[in-house]
């Protein structure tokens, strides 16, 4: 006979959102540290894992069998730290939300102070800061420190100058503050804190709590050159995204670089004098298309990146779509040139039409959005 008695578990006051990719060896230690730091607090931790090949999601689920405060959200076919944080926060009902890394570089011992400020003061968000008195960047190289300072200065185009550490990935906010911003978030790249501040319909009331950035416990850093591109696209989205889709801007910038590749290749082949113009032009066009496809796959459509056989199938559709776009480009340009005889305007119109076609067609055919 099944008992009719229902045991009501207290709802968590705080949800700690941890985006992960290949962090299996850090999961148990992070949960242990949260347990020690958050004594007396009803908390949960939600690991949002981008289908790590090292079995991070399996490690989280194994731990969840013995600790109901541990949860796993495993994403298939999607990548990105910011979007992972958003999905984790949406999966929680807690009134307070914290974002921190899974590599143990963030100091969990300041969590009670952060929570105390949110609950006891009239604040929307509390930031774990490396750049206020008492904070430090740890053992960073001079180059990394310089890049961080530069990125911080640039971020003040869209966030308050009084925020000392907008690049922090360690912060805590209220549910209403998140809810007010979530539909305007770009969810691009790694810097969700900048996104939150820039997307909020009203200025966020904030405080900063100092901490010292630690060395990574296990695994390897996810920082690479693409982070800078993602950051630039995030800022562009906040500045001009209401006018131009940031994905199209990325596509157009790479297309412009592709024009440079085309002319460089054509110039070299013609200088060698071993090929006629038609052959050289065809080879240059093919190389430019390969260049554009590769960079768009790495950067513009990073969250839908193609690999394996899909890479070659995608290249086929990309070349086909861009070939049609080239015909549209030439056709529109010739038509407008015949109308008024002004070749610069006709050429620009052809380029614009061809670029829009290429973007729309390749987005639908090459990098069509996959369902979860």
Q: Where are the domains of the chain?
A: 14-220, 246-365
Q: What is the CA radius of gyration of the chain?
A: 25
Decide if 129 contacts 147 (C-beta within 8 A). no
- For residue range 283-340, what is the model confidence (pLDDT) as tens digits? 877 888 899 899 998 888 877 888 889 889 988 988 888 888 777 766 776 676 677 6
Q: Please state the φ and ψ torsions of residue 126, each to the nearest 5 degrees.
A: -125, 130
Beta bridge partners of 126: 172, 207
Check pLDDT > 90 for residue 355: no
Task: Return the number of other C-beta atoms located less than 10 Å from residue 277's C-beta.
Answer: 10
Angstrom distance (rounded) from CA 263 to CA 265:
5
Q: Which two tokens stand for residue 68?
A: 């109901």
Least confident range from 136-150, 162-176, 220-234, 248-262: namely 220-234
CA 273 to chain centre: 46
pTM, full prediction = 0.74
Beta bridge partners of 96: 14, 174
pLDDT band at 209 (very low <50, low <70, confident <90, very high): very high
Q: Which two tokens stand for residue 303?
A: 């969250």
Question: What is residue 372's predicted lDDT score, i.e. its pLDDT?
Answer: 45
Check pLDDT > 60 for residue 2: no
Question: What is residue 271's predicted lDDT score, i.e. its pLDDT?
Answer: 80
Q: Calculate the dihedral angle through the C-alpha atoms of 171, 174, 175, 178, rounding to the nearest 10 degrees.
A: -60
- Which is nearest to 199 in space by CA: 227, 178, 228? 178
Per-chain mean pLDDT for the chain: 84
CATH architecture of residue range(s) 14-220: Alpha-Beta Complex (3.90)
Check pLDDT > 70 for residue 186: yes
- For residue range 239-263, what is the model confidence (pLDDT) as tens digits? 776 777 778 888 888 888 888 887 7
The predicted model gives 260-273 an average pLDDT of 79
Angstrom distance (rounded) from CA 324 to CA 343:
21
Check pLDDT > 80 for residue 351: no
Most confident of 43-47, 102-106, 137-141, 301-305: 43-47
């Amino acid at each position: 006979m099944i008992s009719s008695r229902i045991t009501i578990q207290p709802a968590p006051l705080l949800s700690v959102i941890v985006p992960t990719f290949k962090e299996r060896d850090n999961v148990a230690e992070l949960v242990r540290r949260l347990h020690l730091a958050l004594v007396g607090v009803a908390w949960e931790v939600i690991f949002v894992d981008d289908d790590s090949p090292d079995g991070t999601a399996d490690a989280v689920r194994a731990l969840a069998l013995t600790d109901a405060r541990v949860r796993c959200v495993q994403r298939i076919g999607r990548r990105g730290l910011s979007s992972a944080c958003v999905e984790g926060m949406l999966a929680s009902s807690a009134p307070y939300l914290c974002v921190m890394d899974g590599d143990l570089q963030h100091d969990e011992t300041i969590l009670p102070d952060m929570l105390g400020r949110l609950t006891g003061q009239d604040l929307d968000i509390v930031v774990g800061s490396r750049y206020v008195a008492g904070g430090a960047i740890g053992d960073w190289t001079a180059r990394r420190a310089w890049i961080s300072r530069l990125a911080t200065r640039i971020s003040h185009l869209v966030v308050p100058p009084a925020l000392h550490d907008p690049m922090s990935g360690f912060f805590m906010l209220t549910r209403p503050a998140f809810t007010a911003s979530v539909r305007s978030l770009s969810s691009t790249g790694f810097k969700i804190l900048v996104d939150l501040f820039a997307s909020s319909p009203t200025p966020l009331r904030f405080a900063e709590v100092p901490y010292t950035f630690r060395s990574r416990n296990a695994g390897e850093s996810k920082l690479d050159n693409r982070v800078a591109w993602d950051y630039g696209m995030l800022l562009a989205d906040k500045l001009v995204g209401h006018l131009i889709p940031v994905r199209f801007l990325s596509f157009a910038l790479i297309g412009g670089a592709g024009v440079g590749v085309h002319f460089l290749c054509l110039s070299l082949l013609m200088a060698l004098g071993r090929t006629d113009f038609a052959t050289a032009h065809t080879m240059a066009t093919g190389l430019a298309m390969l260049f554009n496809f590769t960079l768009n796959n790495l950067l513009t459509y990073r969250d839908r990146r193609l690999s394996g056989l899909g890479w070659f199938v995608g290249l086929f559709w990309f070349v086909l779509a861009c070939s049609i776009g080239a015909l549209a480009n030439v056709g529109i340009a010739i038509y407008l040139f015949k109308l008024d005889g002004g070749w610069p305007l006709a050429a620009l119109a052809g380029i614009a039409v061809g670029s829009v076609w290429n973007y729309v067609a390749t987005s639908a055919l090459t990098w069509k959005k996959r369902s979860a």
